[in-house]
Amino acid sequence: MARYEIKGGNPLQGTVTISGAKNAAVAILPAALLVKGKCRIENVPDISDVRILLSILEGLGATVEHPCDNVIVLDCSGISSTQPEAALVKKMRASYYLMGSLLGRFGKCHVALPGGCSFATRPIDQHIKGFKALGALVEETEEYVELAAGKNGLQGNRVCLDMASVGATANIMMAAVLLPGQTFIENAAKEPHIVDLANFLNTMGAQVTGAGTDTIKIKGVEQLQGGTYAIIPDQIEAGTYMAAVTAAGGDVLVKNVIPKHMDCITSKLEEMGAEVINYDDAIRVRSTGKLHSTTVKTRPYPGFPTDMQAQICVCMALAEGISHLTESVYETRFFGYCTELESMGAKIEINGKTATVTGRNHLKGSTVCARDLRAGAALVIAGLSAEGITRVENIHFVERGYENLIEKLTALGATIRRIDD
């Protein structure tokens, strides 16, 4: 099994360019199923989740071209199958978006239940509630979900989500864009990738308004046509590099970011002692050599993202004083990495939704195991900050979401290599 070997202790210096957002890409690629015509999608990150999705789409009959790095031209005009290959669907979480897009285009689908990072029970009842509201009949087993238009067909409707679910918001949006009538998604998720998906769909001819607010309105159109769209930069990848500089030390210009998306992360890192300067599409992060304790509670956007919980925990583990980290989206997420951080010398006590982190002024290298994507990213940051050698196992999780991690960190002066056994 492949692993990373990291020799810690080098401060990070230089420039890193952030890739396209994973969670936008994994929604926009399935959304291209709704389009009859060629979609040229730019700034697509080359990560394993994207590669799996493209294989799924090809298996359904889409043509996929790669005219140059990070650009995909996707033509889903000729698709007729509504049953994506189960073995591939089970490899990733975001394959649930195939439900909304296939339902929206063909009025039916048979999709295996998704796999991916299993750091918590991740129900899809809100997605199903939305499909039912649009008129779908649902057969749900432990293995798959089958959707078909009910006797009155599919049509727009009002859906009020019980929680602002990112996946349900995006899935309902995809299912609704080609339906007659209007759909309102109330208590919608407001994450940047929700806005990006709406912008992609609108570029292709959809009529989606209100994305980024609590209520999204979708006026059904008859057809979407091809076009060109560039995916936004990855908020969490940028935050991960910012946290790495804060924890390991150094001075790095993080390029290709939307600073507004980073506000909640930036303000916490500043509180902890990092110096952060925002430019139009870049952020400079400089460590001041001192880290202070803080309190963080994860929240849906614009709050502090759950996908940055593990990375900020590493900063807390190295800060002076006692920090409190409360998870309000996925309670069990701490278990993916806290024990591993403790084996590196961190002191963390978990009590329900809150981890109390007593800072130490150093971590020591160890062999640790990534249990999900962001847990893996945090262990890499811990390895960069630690004394001695850290080996991070199970790196296929990390490679699901970070493009060219080794190359980017090496260019910043880190000593990290990938070892294939």
Interface contacts to ligand EPU, rule CB under 6 A:
23, 26, 93-94, 117, 122-127, 163, 165-168, 189, 305-307, 329-330, 373-374, 401
Active site residues: 117
Nearest approach, Cβ of residue 193 and ligand EPU (Å): 6
DSSP 310-347: HHHHHHHHTSBSEEEEE-SS-GGGGGGTHHHHHHTT-E
**Cβ pair 16, 408 in contact under 8 A:** yes
- Beta carbons within 8 Å of 13's beta carbon, 6+ residues apart: 250, 251, 252, 412, 413
Closest to ligand EPU by CB, 10 vs 183, is 183
DSSP 62-97: -EEEEEETTEEEEE-TT-------HHHHTT-GGGGH
235 within 8 A of 261, measured Cβ to Cβ = yes
Closest distance to ligand EPU from the beta carbon of 401 (Å): 6
Say if residues 179 and 156 touch (Cβ distance below 8 Å): yes
Nearest-approach distance from CB 372 to ligand EPU, in angstroms: 7
Tell me how far apart the alpha carbons of residues 234 and 401 are, in angstroms, rounded to a whole number.
10
Helix or strand or coil: residue 282?
Answer: strand
The least distance separating ligand EPU from the CB of residue 355, rounded to whole angstroms, comes to 17
When the beta carbons of 50 and 341 are compared against ligand EPU, the nearer one is 50
- DSSP string for 126-155: HHHHHHHHTTEEEEE-SSEEEEEE-TT---
* Nearest CB to ligand EPU, comparing residues 82 and 126: 126
Q: What are the tokens at 391?
A: 């080996």
Taking the least distance from each CB to ligand EPU, the nearer of 310 and 319 is 310
Q: Are 170 and 182 in contact (CB under 8 A)?
A: no
Shortest Cβ 368–ligand EPU spacing (Å): 18
Q: Of the two residues 188 and 283, which places its CB atom closer to ligand EPU in the complex? A: 188
